[in-house]
Every structure is written in C-alpha cells, then in structure tokens.
Structure 1
Amino acid sequence: MSNKTYGCLTLFMLLLLIGSILLNVGLFVTKLDFDVSTDATFTAARPKRHLHEVVVENPAKSSADKIVHIDLEGVISSMSVSGIFAEAMPGVEPIKQALEQAVNDKNVKAIVLRVNSPGGEVTASDIIYNAVKKAAKVKPVVVYMDAMAASGGYYVACGATKIVASETTLTASIGVIIETMNYSELFGKVGLSMTAFTSGAFKDSLSGARPMREDEKAYVQNLVTQMYDRFLGIVSESRGVPKEQLKNVADGRVVTGREALNAKLVDQIGYVEDAYALARTLGKSADAGVVKYRHEVSLFDALGMASAKAGAAPAKMELDVSSALMPKLLPGVPYYLPPSFAH
C-alpha cells in the first residue's frame, strides 16, 4: 500500500472517529434537562431520571405483574449521597421516588420494603413513614425486617400493610434520644472560656461550654416526650394496640422478631421469600415476578458534576462511609436510635 493511500485511510478513520464522538455527545445532550436562569447561563444539567428494573424472580406464565423490592439500608438521614454511591447509601428522596414509581406502574401489584436499619433522624424517619403509608393506601406494602429494623426503622415499618420479621431480627427500640457533650470543666482546666450573646434564655441550650440549667433540662426532656408520644401513637394506631399496653415494651429496648410477634409489633415470622409470597397474596397476583429498582449512574454523577454551575471551579468530593456503620449523632438533633448506637 502506498504512503498516500495509507495517509488517506488514516485521515478517513480519524474523521469517522471524530464524527462518532460528536454524534454521541449530541445524543447525550438531547437527554439532558437544562435549567436556564434569567441571565441565559446554565445553572444545572441533569439527566432525567427513571429507575431501571432488575429481575429478582421471573414471573410465572409470562405474567406482566410485578412485585417491587425496595431496600432501606443503613442509618436514616435527611442527607443523601449522590452519584455512584447513591444506591448503596440512599437518603429520603430516593426511597420516596421508588415508592412513587411503584405506585404509578399499573403492572406493580404490591411492594416489598426490606428494612435493615437501626433507625436515624426523627424527621427523616417520619417522612419515609408517611411515604410508605401513602403508598399502602394505593397498593399493598409488605415490610420485611432483615437483621435490624429498630427505632426509626420500626417507625417506618408502621406505615406498611403488613410486617414480616425474621426470628433473629432486632426490632422495636421505641424511643427518642437527644445527646449533647459538656466540656465546661475541661475548658476550666486548660484556661479557656466561651461567651455567647443570645436573644433568649434558651437560645444556647445544649451548649457544651457551660453546665446545663434545670429549666433547660426540663425543656429538652419535654421535646423528647412529645416526639416519643407521637411514635407511641403511630405504633398504637398501626398495630391496634393500646398505648398503655405498648409501654410494656416501648421503653427503648430492642426485641427479637419472635418477641415482637408476641407483642403484636409484627404480623408474621419469615424470610424475604415469605414477604414476596405475602405480597403476591395481598396483590392478588400469584404469578407476579419480583423486580428491584436501581439508579442508572450518569456521566455527571460519575464525575461529580451533577450540581455544578457553568464556569464553577471543580468541587472536591469527600466521602465518609463510617456513619453508615456507626452513626455520629449531631448534638441537639433528635434521633430514633437504640441506645447502643447513640455514641
């Protein structure tokens, strides 16, 4: 082959490659949902999201009916992790989105929410509970409790149609905790002090720089009691058990799945397959298959650019996964968590 022919072939291949890249970029851009501000600059570029399905169990007899399996894993938090870690550490919004998509899909006959959580923030738990309860008004929702569904995890479960727990599940822990750390004596030893200017007597409550007053203790305890009463009321309404009877077990302790069944906190002992079977029964679809939702990772997620503004400096991404194993309680934030996690 002559040098001229070889050069023309190389140029042709190069142009073909460039054309392919431009075509793919064009197709990618057409799938983006741009939010354009009044100054005509792009403030954000996100691919439109739709949760994709992964088959867990094939349907029988070519049925189009589905049971959707959704996972609630780890500490329940109002903070969510975006990008490639979103599926492993879901926040409130991904759970709500999965529930909404399942409810809106006419082929979905029931939902199985697998809970494996020690609990978490009070408000985040309440939001997910409300989303589960709303979904259960439209389609049956079966909660399957895995290794742990305690405190906020149990709170969420109370929104379901039915609850299935394993024999060895640790659940209940019906209670509220608020923590703070007092380091005022340490300040004195090292010669430090703190001065705070506040607009009211309770504005710097839970400050660790000074001893807590008795009226502050009563004030914080009242907050805890209000949240505990709400928790107790939700359990009582969901399980049909009077509050006074619940107080025999609703003192913050965790119990096994068998003990929870005896206390009427759950409906059935079993495994996730039993939850699927119950969901098929409640959904009146014996032939339904089982699918899981997954988040498709976009290019922007992978590069950490999902929320970057045009022209902004690249953000430094830091990920601390330790809180998924042992949560770090924020001072003054109320949590539905077992005492063993409150450190």
Structure 2
Amino acid sequence: MSLDADVLVDRRRLRRSVTVWRVLAVIAIAAAVAALFVASGAGDGFVGKSTPHIARLPIEGVITDDRDTVDRIEELADNDAVKAVILYINSPGGSTTGGEVTYNALRRLAEKKPVVAQIGTLGASAGYMIALASDHIVAHYTSLTGSIGVLMQYGQVHKMLDKLGIEVDTVQSGPLKAEPSPFSTPPQAAVQMLQGVVGDSYDWFTGLVSERRNLDMATVRGLADGRIFTGHQALQAKLVDEIGGEMAAVDWLGKSHGIDVKLPVRTWSTDNELEDLPFASRIGHGLVQGALSALGLKDAIPLDLAGPTQLDGLVSLWHGSNLPDGAGQ
C-alpha cells in the first residue's frame, strides 16, 4: 500500500513538471515568432502600418499632458504610409496644458499631412481646443461641443474644522504661498491672483479660436462664456465646418487634398496597442496569454496600473460630461 502511494506521488510530480515545461516552450515559441516578425521589418516596427492608409487617431476621455499621445502623433507624422489623419474626438476636455501640448503636436503633424477632426458624442473645452488643430472640423448634428473657457476650483473645509475644534497653523514664505488654502477663507489678493491666471489662459484659448476659425475676437468672446453647443448650433456659429461623421471627413480629404477615398482607415491607438500589432504578433500575444492562463497568472497582472486620472492646475473641462452620452439628463 505504501509503494502505491509513492508511485502516485511521483506521477503527480512528473505531470506537474511536464506541464511547466510545456508552458515555457509555448512562451519561447511565441516570443520567437514575435521577434522574427518585428526583426524582418514586415510589421513596420511595433505598429505594423506599412501600407498606404488614412490614420484614425482617437482622442477620448479626459485629456492630460500625455507623452504617449504626443509620441503617437509624431509617429504619424514620420510614417510615409499615412496619407492623412482623422482625429476622432470624444472627450469632455481636461487639463488646459494637456490640450495645449496635444494641440501643438497636432499642428506640427498638420504641416506634413492633411488633418481633419471628427467630433463624436462630445468634443468640449480642451476637446474642442484639440479639434482646432485640424484643417476641417466635422460634427454630428447632436454632438456636444464648445464650452470654451478655463477654470480652477478649490475646496473649503474650515467651517467643518471649526465645528470639530480643529485648528491648522501655517508658516509661509509669502502672503500668497499655498493660497487659496482649504483651511481658511482665502484673502482677496489670492482670489485676484487666481483670476489673473485663469484670465490669461482664457485669453490664449479665445485667441486660438479667433485665429483658427477666422472669427473676430468680439464674436468669439460672445461664444466663449462656457456654454456648450450642438453640432448644428456650432455650425451656425462657425465653430465647426460640416455636419456628418467619418465618411464626411474622408470625403473632405478627397475633395480638398486629393486623398484616395478608397484607402482603408486604420486606428492608431495609445490605449489598446494590441489592435496595432500585425497578425503574426497578435498570434504570439495570444499564445503568451494562453500560457499565462495555464499557469493561473492571466489575472494576476493588472492591465492598468495608472489609477484614476487626477487633474492638477488649470482645467478646460465640461462638468456635464458625467451624464450618460453627454446629454439628456
């Protein structure tokens, strides 16, 4: 009876050992396939977009000063296979600096190849700022856009602390250092300082609208009180050029720049790099994922370690964006 038990234990150990080696072999093969494909140049580096096409660049969610997005825009500018770029914008905005950095990168791109913006459900505040970098803006009739403006918010908790009997003392190098503070009523000088910062950024934003949309500043100031517009209203206000979707954007590229409208439209994404991988590399990725599943590690590695986005500094953001589909609530 003891002998049978020993044999059973040995068999289990052998079975586990064989499974581990099989998994390691699958990983090695997958890595070799991916490495050979990339080394051959068939995948045009990591992205694998080597044949002529129109690139679709999604700008979605809250906009931040994102190096990955800028890098992707620079890749688009340098890739000869990209004949034109469609910015697909579905964003409530974000940090003003994030919008500025992305805008500048897109203007550099537009100096090399045609760029058209297509606003989806929402393209407001910094989202609209980014659309201004294009040569033509298309929006749906019911898209939400506009919300031209800048804001800075700060919280106040000193009344609650007074009720709890809590005091917060501060030693500061100057009267405006760390102001406004949530622990005391802000002095008027601090409020005026923030208003000056917001006003300076607002002047820059409205100047951008005036320049890019060929509107006089008085007209822009009348539109830039923070209000949102439907695509139809924005067309009437000359904030967008056309009502339509991606087909309208492609048609404009053909009519205005002679781009072949039959070229495929391919997504260049910074969020889902797997979509940009060539077929052989996706196979390799699938094999690796299968191997991780066999080891019970597939869910052990989180896909997003960045955590929730936090906006610091000046903000160009439409707060109604937390509503379903951006409207109707």
Q: What TM-score comes out, normalization by structure 2 length?
A: 0.74
Cα shift at 1:305: 9.0
| Larger helix percent | 2
Q: Rate the CA distance shift 1:317–1:213 in 2: closer, same or farther, 3 A.
A: same
> Structure 1, residues 167-225: CA drift from partner, whole Å, max 9, x if none?
10111111001001111111111101111111111112121100011111110000000
Structure 2 residue ranges without an equivalent (≥5): 1-13, 36-43, 276-284, 290-297, 323-329
For residues 94 and 317 of structure 1, the distance between their equivalents in structure 2, rounded to whole angstroms, comes to 15
Q: Rate the CA distance shift 1:72–1:318 in 2: closer, same or farther, 3 A.
A: closer
CA RMSD of aligned residues (A): 3.5
> Structure 1, residues 250-272: CA drift from partner, whole Å, max 9, x if none?
11100111111111111111112
Query: Which position in structure 2 is the counterpart of 1:189?
Result: 163
Tell me if the contact between 1:51 and 1:296 (Cα under 8 Å) persists in the aligned partners. Answer: no
Alignment counterpart, residue 68 of structure 1, candidates 55, 64, 76 = 55
Q: Rate the CA distance shift 1:31–1:66 in 2: closer, same or farther, 3 A.
A: closer
Tell me if the contact between 2:92 and 2:319 (Cα under 8 Å) persists in the aligned partners. Answer: no
Q: Which residue type is aligned with residue 24 of structure 2?
A: I
Cα shift at 1:22: 5.5
For residues 29 and 213 of structure 1, the distance between their equivalents in structure 2, rounded to whole angstroms, comes to 64
Tell me if the contact between 1:73 and 1:117 (Cα under 8 Å) persists in the aligned partners. Answer: yes
Tell me if the contact between 2:94 and 2:311 (Cα under 8 Å) persists in the aligned partners. Answer: no
For residues 287 and 151 of structure 1, the distance between their equivalents in structure 2, rounded to whole angstroms, comes to 33
Query: Which position in structure 2 is the counterpart of 1:232?
Result: 206
Q: Which residue type is aligned with residue 264 of structure 1?
A: K
Tell me if the contact between 1:280 and 1:288 (Cα under 8 Å) persists in the aligned partners. Answer: no
> Structure 1, residues 228-265: CA drift from partner, whole Å, max 9, x if none?
00101111111111111111111110011111111111
Query: Which position in structure 1 is the counterpart of 2:184?
Result: 210
Cα shift at 1:19: 8.3
1:50 corresponds to 2:53: no
1:124 corresponds to 2:98: yes
Query: Which position in structure 2 is the counterpart of 1:287?
Result: 262
Which secondary structure state, in structure 2, belongs to the residue aligned with residue 160 of structure 1?
coil
Q: Rate the CA distance shift 1:188–1:151 in 2: closer, same or farther, 3 A.
A: same
Tell me if the contact between 2:253 and 2:261 (Cα under 8 Å) persists in the aligned partners. Answer: no
Query: Which position in structure 2 is the counterpart of 1:97?
Result: 71
Query: Which position in structure 2 is the counterpart of 1:176?
Result: 150
Alignment counterpart, residue 89 of structure 2, candidates 115, 118, 124 = 115
Note the 1:207-286 alignment, pairs <5 A. 207-281=181-255, 282-286=257-261
Alignment counterpart, residue 118 of structure 2, candidates 133, 139, 144 = 144
Tell me if the contact between 1:148 and 1:171 (Cα under 8 Å) persists in the aligned partners. Answer: yes
Query: Which position in structure 2 is the counterpart of 1:336?
Result: 316
Q: What TM-score comes out, normalization by structure 1 length?
A: 0.71
Which secondary structure state, in structure 2, belongs to the residue aligned with residue 75 of structure 1?
strand
Tell me if the contact between 2:103 and 2:129 (Cα under 8 Å) persists in the aligned partners. Answer: yes
Cα shift at 1:319: 4.2
Tell me if the contact between 2:64 and 2:311 (Cα under 8 Å) persists in the aligned partners. Answer: no
For residues 137 and 120 of structure 2, the distance between their equivalents in structure 1, rounded to whole angstroms, comes to 11
Which secondary structure state, in structure 1, belongs to the residue aligned with residue 62 of structure 2?
coil
Tell me if the contact between 1:139 and 1:283 (Cα under 8 Å) persists in the aligned partners. Answer: no
Tell me if the contact between 1:67 and 1:280 (Cα under 8 Å) persists in the aligned partners. Answer: no
Which secondary structure state, in structure 2, belongs to the residue aligned with residue 119 of structure 1?
strand
Identity of aligned residues (%): 28
Tell me if the contact between 2:55 and 2:82 (Cα under 8 Å) persists in the aligned partners. Answer: yes
For residues 118 and 143 of structure 1, the distance between their equivalents in structure 2, rounded to whole angstroms, comes to 15
Tell me if the contact between 1:151 and 1:171 (Cα under 8 Å) persists in the aligned partners. Answer: yes
Which secondary structure state, in structure 2, belongs to the residue aligned with residue 176 of structure 1?
coil
Which secondary structure state, in structure 1, belongs to the residue aligned with residue 123 of structure 2?
strand
Q: Count how many residue pairs are aligned between Structure 1 and Structure 2.
A: 279
> Structure 1, residues 90-138: CA drift from partner, whole Å, max 9, x if none?
xx23322332222222121100010000100111111111111111111
Query: Which position in structure 2 is the counterpart of 1:5?
Result: none
Q: Rate the CA distance shift 1:202–1:248 in 2: closer, same or farther, 3 A.
A: same
Q: Rate the CA distance shift 1:137–1:302 in 2: closer, same or farther, 3 A.
A: farther
Which secondary structure state, in structure 1, belongs to the residue aligned with residue 54 of structure 2?
strand
Which secondary structure state, in structure 2, belongs to the residue aligned with residue 194 of structure 1?
coil
Note the 1:14-29 alignment, pairs <5 A. 18=21, 21=24, 24-25=27-28, 28=31
Which secondary structure state, in structure 2, belongs to the residue aligned with residue 74 of structure 1?
strand
Q: Rate the CA distance shift 1:319–1:29 in 2: closer, same or farther, 3 A.
A: farther
Which secondary structure state, in structure 2, belongs to the residue aligned with residue 286 of structure 1?
coil
Cα shift at 1:28: 3.7
For residues 221 and 259 of structure 1, the distance between their equivalents in structure 2, rounded to whole angstroms, comes to 29
For residues 196 and 256 of structure 1, the distance between their equivalents in structure 2, rounded to whole angstroms, comes to 47
Query: Which position in structure 2 is the counterpart of 1:106?
Result: 80
Tell me if the contact between 1:110 and 1:283 (Cα under 8 Å) persists in the aligned partners. Answer: no
